[in-house]
Structure 1
Amino acid sequence: MRIEQVLDDGTGAISPALAPLAGALTVKQPEKVLRWLRRTHVRELLTALATGRLPLTHDALSSHSHPVAARYMRHELIVCGLLPPVDKHLVDTEEWLRRRLAELVDHPHERLLRRFALWHQLPRLRATAATRPLRATAKPYATQQFTQAQRFLTWLHEHSIDPADLTQAQLDTWYTNARVHQRHSVHGFLTWAIEHGHLPRRLVATRLTFKPGTVITQQRRLALLRRFAVDDHSDAGPRTAACLLLLYAQPLSRIQHLTTTDVTEHDGELLIHLGDPPAPVPEPFAALLRQLVAAAGPPPALLFPGRLAGQPVAYQTLHKRLRKLGFPIKEARIAALRQLVLQAPAPVIADALGFHQTTATRQVANAGGTWSQYAPGDHTPLP
C-alpha cells in the first residue's frame, strides 16, 4: 500500500490539504511507514481525511471510532502544521470523559455526573492548560475523581438515598467503609456538590491528611548520584532524569518536558532553568547533561523525546525505566527536597527550582529545619 493511494482525494492525486503529511511520511523509515499503513483502520482514517469525509479538525479526530490511531494522527498533523497545537493531556481527558458519559446514559445520577465533568472538571483543566502545559498526572487525577464520584452516587442509589437528603451520618458511614484512595479522590466531587447545592450545604466533606513520606539517607542519595552521573553502561536519558531528581527534586512530570533551551552556558558554567534564577549544574553531572543536549539535536529539542512526533516521553515510560534501574523515585525526590530546604530558606529554593512555596515550606518542618524560627533583626554578635 502506497502513500499516494491512501491519501488520494478521489481525483487520482494526493489531497492538496494533506501534501505536508505525505512529505513527512516519505522521509520516515519506509519499513515503519509500510507497517503502519497495513493496518486497516489507519488506511480508512487517512482516506477519510483525504476525501473530506472526516473534517481536518481536533473535534473530528476526538470522536473517531479508533482513538489510538486518531491520537497518533493528531500528533503527525500538528507537527506538519495542518492542525494547531493542543495540550495532549487535556485532549485525552476530554475524550475519556466523553466516552465515559456516553456509557452512563442509564445511570440514575447521569445528569449530576455530567455537570461535574463539564461544568467543573473540564473548565478547570482548560484554564490551567491556557497558562501552562498540563502535567502527565492531570488525566489520571481527573479520571479517578470522576470514577469515585460515580461510585459514590451509585452507592447512594443502592441504599435508596436521595443526594438532596443525604445526612452527615450517612456520609460518615460511606467514609468508614471506603478505602483511603477512594476517600481522597471523591473529595473534589463532594466539595463541588456541596458548594453548588447538589448535596446539602450543611454536610462536611472530611479532608484526608497524609503522613510525611519516607526518604533515603543522605549517604544513599550521594551514592546514587555517583552511580548515575558516571556509570556509562546505562542509557543517558534515565541517568539524567535520576540526577535531576537527586539534585533538584524535580518531578518526572516536569523532567519529561525539559528541552535543550532549558540548558545554557554562562562564563563556562552550565546552568539549567528550572525556576528563577537558573540553577548551576555541578560536575560530573554537567558532562552527562551536555552529552544529552548534544544528542537531542538543534533547539528547541526535547531532552526526553517520546515515540510520537514532537511529544516528550510518556510519564509512565520514564517511570518504568527508572524503576527498572532500581531507582527509588519518590523516596529520592523527598530526600533531595528536604536536603535543599535545610541548605537555604524555603522561598529561595521554591523560586530557584520552580516549586510552590507551600510545598517547600512544608518540607522544612518535615526535615526539622529552623529557617522559619529565626527572629528578625540584627544578629551581629555583641563584642
Structure 2
Amino acid sequence: MTDPGRPATGGNGSVRPPTLTDLAPRKKRGRPRSAGQHACDRCHQQVAKIRVHWPDGAVCGACFTEATHTYGTCPHCREHRMLPGRSPGREPLCRDCAGITTALTCTGCHREAERFRAGLCIRCALTDDLTAVLNPGDDLRLHRLIKVFAGTQRPESVYTYMRPGTRARALLEAIGARKLALTHEAFDRLPRSTAVEHLRALVVHHRMMPARGNETLARFEHWLATRITELPEDGTADLIERFATWHHLERIRAQATNPDADLETSTHAAKQEITEAGKFLIWLQEHHHTLAEELQQLHIDDYLSHDPSTRKQIRTFVRWLNHQQGRRTGVIDVAFRNAQSTPMITHTERLELVRNCLEHRHVTGSTRLAGLILLLWAHPLNKIVMLRREHLTVTPQGMLLTLGATPTAIPEALTAMLWQHLQNPGNQNTANTGTPWLFPGTRAGQHLHPATLSRRLKVLGIDAQRARNATLRDLTHEVDARTLIDTLGYSPGIIARHAALSATPMSDYIDMKRQRPR
C-alpha cells in the first residue's frame, strides 16, 4: 500500500515530485486560534475572543501579537518604532498616527512592546525569572547567561523552554543552587538528554564553559564508554572495547584533526558496527557456546542466514578478528554487500525538483537553497550542512560557491536567494547566533543535522540519494571529469564510476584512478 506521506515511485526507483500548492501558510505568532462567533477585522476569521478594539476594527489575539511585534519606520511621521496600527490601505502605522490608546510601553525598560506580565515586556519578565532561578550573585558567567537568554530574537521561546516542570527548568535550578557546575565533567554525570546537550552547547557557544575539541568526537567517546559497560563481562566487553578503540576510535580521532571532516557519518557507521558486533558475540555464546577465538565460517553463515539485514554490519569486525592474536581457526569473512541497483530519477524529474525549489515559497528558504545545491552540484547532505559562510564569496562578477578545489559560479537566478539567506540563515531566534555555518542547527554553535535536512527536502519531493545520483549522471554528460573533480570535490573513483554508468567516454580514466582521493 502506498504511503501518502512519501513521494510516489516509478520505474528504477524514480520519484515523481508531489504538488506543493496545498501547503499550509505559515502560522502567525501567538496562541493558536479557537473557532468562535466573533469576527476579526484583520484576519477575517471567526475566533472565540476579541483581544482589543482599535480604530481599524476588532483584533483577535494572534493578530494583536503580530501587530505588537512589528517594528519599522512609520510612513506618516517617519519615526522608527512599533507599528501596531493599520491605515485604510492596510499600511502599518505607529500608535500615535493610528490613534491607538492601548498601553504598549514596558514599565521596566520603557520600550514599546507588548506587555507580557504586570506591565513588563517579555524580556524584562524573563530577566526577572532567570535572575530568581539562576541566582547569579557575583558569577559573571550567570549574568552573561541571563543576558543571552533575554536578548534573543524570540524571548517567548525561551520562556516556554524554561517553564516550571521542564527538564530545562530543572537544570537551570540546579545551576542556581550550585548543584550543577558549568563544567563538562558535571554535565557528563547527568543522564543524557536533549535538554542537557542543548544547554551544554549553549554555554559553550557563548564562552561560559570551555570547548573540549570536536563535540561529535566527545559524544562518541561518551557513547562508547556507556556501551561497553552494557556488554557481558565474559570477554565480550573486553573484545568489543579493543575493536572499538583500535579500529574506530583511533581513526575518528585522526579525522577530528581536520575541522572540515564529517564526523557525523563516521561515528554513525562506527556505532552501527560496534553495536552489531556486540550482538553477534552475545548470539555466538547463546546459540553455539563459542568464544570469538574459536569462531568459524559456519557460525557466521548461520548468523547471516537470519534476518535482519543489519547483521551484515559485522563484516568489519570479522575481518578485524582475522588479524588478532590467539585465534586458532582459519581465515573467516563476510561477503561484501553490493548495491543491486542505482536509485535515480529522470532528467525531467530533476528539472521539476529544481523548479519546486525556486517557486514554492511556502517552504523555508534554507531548505530550498540546500535542495538547489544538491540538485545542481550533487553535493552530499552531510557536506551541505557543513558549508560555512566563508564558502560563499561575493565578487564584482557575481557570487562563487566553493565545494572543491575550484570555486564555481552561482547562476544569477540564485544570487538573490543566497544573499537573502546570508542575511537571515534561520534558527537564530533563540541562542544560536553568530555561528559560521551556512545552515545553522537548532542547537547553539552547531550546524543542521543531515537527517533533519533529508526530512525537510522530502517536502519538496526530493529523495537525496536519487537526486544526487541523477545530478552526477547529468554532470558527467555535460562536464569533463577533471573539472568535476576540482569543482565538486569528489574523488576520481566516484566520478569515474558515475561516468561509466552514464556511458561517458573517459580517455584519462587510468590516470584518474592513480590519483589519491581527496
Give the structure-2-normalised TM-score: 0.65
Alignment match, 2:401: 272
Contact 1:15–1:50 (Cα < 8 Å) also in 2: no
**Following the alignment from structure 1 to structure 2, what is the Cα–Cα distance between the partners of residues 312 and 364?**
32
Residues 1:328 and 1:43: Cα distance change in structure 2 (over 3 Å): closer
Deviation string for 1:43-74 (max 9, x for gaps)?
44345556665443334322312432221111
Task: Report what 1:221 is aligned to.
Answer: 350
Query: Which residues in structure 2 correspond to 1:334-349 (within 5 Å)?
Result: 334-349=469-484
Cα separation, 2, equivalents of 1:62 and 1:250: 35
Name the residue aligned to 2:505. Answer: 370
Match of 1:72 among 191, 194, 198: 198
Q: Which letter does structure 1 place at the counterpart of 2:194? A: V
Looking at structure 1, the residues matched to 434 and 148 of structure 2 have their Cα atoms a distance apart, in angstroms, of 20
Equivalent residues of 1:261, 1:299 under 8 A apart: no
Counterpart code for 1:162: L
- Change in CA separation of 1:114 and 1:52 when aligned onto 2, cut-off 3 Å: farther
* Structure 2 counterpart SS, 1:136: helix
What's the counterpart of residue 289 of structure 1? 418
The correspondence of residues 169-180 of structure 1 with structure 2, limited to 5 A, is 169-180=298-309
Q: Give the letter aligned to residue 158 of structure 2.
A: V
Would you say the 8 A contact 1:90–1:125 is kept in 2?
yes
How much does 1:362 deviate?
1.7
Distance in 1 (CA, whole Å) between partners of 2:403 and 2:458 is 24
Structure 2 equivalent of residue 31 of structure 1: 156
| 1:22 equivalent in structure 2 | 146
CA separation of 1:260/1:19 partners in 2, compared to 1, >3 Å: closer, same or farther?
same
- State whether structure 2 residue 373 is matched by structure 1 residue 244: yes
CA distance in 2, matches of 1:214, 1:182: 23
Counterpart secondary structure, 1:371? coil
Asked if residue 317 in structure 1 is aligned to residue 452 in structure 2, the reply is yes
- Asked if 2 retains the 8 angstrom alpha-carbon contact of 1:272 and 1:279, the reply is yes
SS of 2:375 mapped into structure 1: helix
- Corresponding residue number in structure 1 for 2:321: 193
Taking structure 1 as reference, are residues 47 and 207 closer, same or farther at Cα in structure 2, changes over 3 Å only? same
Percent identity of paired positions between Structure 1 and Structure 2: 29
**The residue matched to 2:249 in structure 1 has which SS?**
helix
For residues 178-221 of structure 1, the C-alpha deviation after alignment (integer angstroms, 9 at most, x for no partner) is 544321x2222222222233655622343222234121111221
C-alpha distance in 2 between matches for 1:59 and 1:130: 22
5 Å-filtered alignment, 1:321-336, equals: 321-336=456-471
SS at match of 2:394: strand
Q: 1:308 to 1:326 in 2, by over 3 A?
A: same
- 1:253, distance to aligned residue in structure 2 (A): 0.9
Q: Look up the match of 2:338.
A: 209
Give the match for residue 231 of structure 2.
104
Q: 1:290 to 1:61 in 2, by over 3 A?
A: same
Q: For 2:485, give the aligned amino acid.
A: A
Distance change >3 Å, CA 20–CA 249, structure 1 → 2: same
Q: What is the distance in 2 between the residues matched to 1:238 and 1:42? A: 29
Matched, 1:134 2:262: yes
The 5 A counterparts of 1:348-363 are: 348-363=483-498
Aligned residue for 1:308?
A: 443
Separation in 2, partners of 1:294, 1:153: 53
Match 2:279 to one of 114, 139, 151: 151
Secondary structure at the residue paired with 1:270?
strand
SS in 2 for 1:368: coil
Describe the SS at the equivalent of 1:302: coil
Aligned AA (1:64) = L
Question: What CA distance in whole angstroms lies between the structure 1 residues aligned with 2:330 and 2:256?
Answer: 31
Q: Using a 3 Å threshold, how does the CA distance of structure 1 residues 320 and 357 change in structure 2: closer, same or farther?
A: same
Q: Which residue of 1 aligns with 2:70?
A: none
| C-alpha distance in structure 2 between counterparts of 1:244 and 1:31, whole Å | 33
Contact 2:347 2:470 in 1 (8 A): yes
Q: 1:107 to 1:8 in 2, by over 3 A?
A: farther
Give 1:84 deviation, angstroms. 1.6
- The 1-side partners of 2:470 and 2:387 are apart by 22
1:20-58 Cα distance to aligned partner (Å, 9 max, x none): 323212313443333333246434434555666544333
CA distance in 1 between counterparts of 2:316 and 2:344 reads 29
- Whole-Å Cα distance in 1 between the matches of residues 326 and 201 of structure 2? 39
Q: 1:57 aligns with which of 172, 179, 183?
A: 183
**Paired positions, count:** 372
Aligned partners of 2:396 and 2:479: how far apart in 1?
Answer: 24
Deviations 1:343-363 (A, max 9, x none): 334343122112222222221
Return 5+ residue gaps in structure 1 as ranges.
Answer: 377-383
Deviation at 1:282, TM superposition (A): 1.4
The answer to whether the 8 A contact 1:252-1:315 is kept is yes
**Whole-Å separation in 2 of the counterparts to 1:160 and 1:249:** 49
For 1:36 and 1:161, locate their aligned partners in 2 and report how far apart those are by CA, in whole Å: 51
User: Which residue of 1 is the match for residue 50 of structure 2?
Assistant: none
Cα distance in 2 for partners of 1:268, 1:243 equals 21
Closer, same or farther: CA 54–193 of 1 in aligned 2, 3 Å = farther
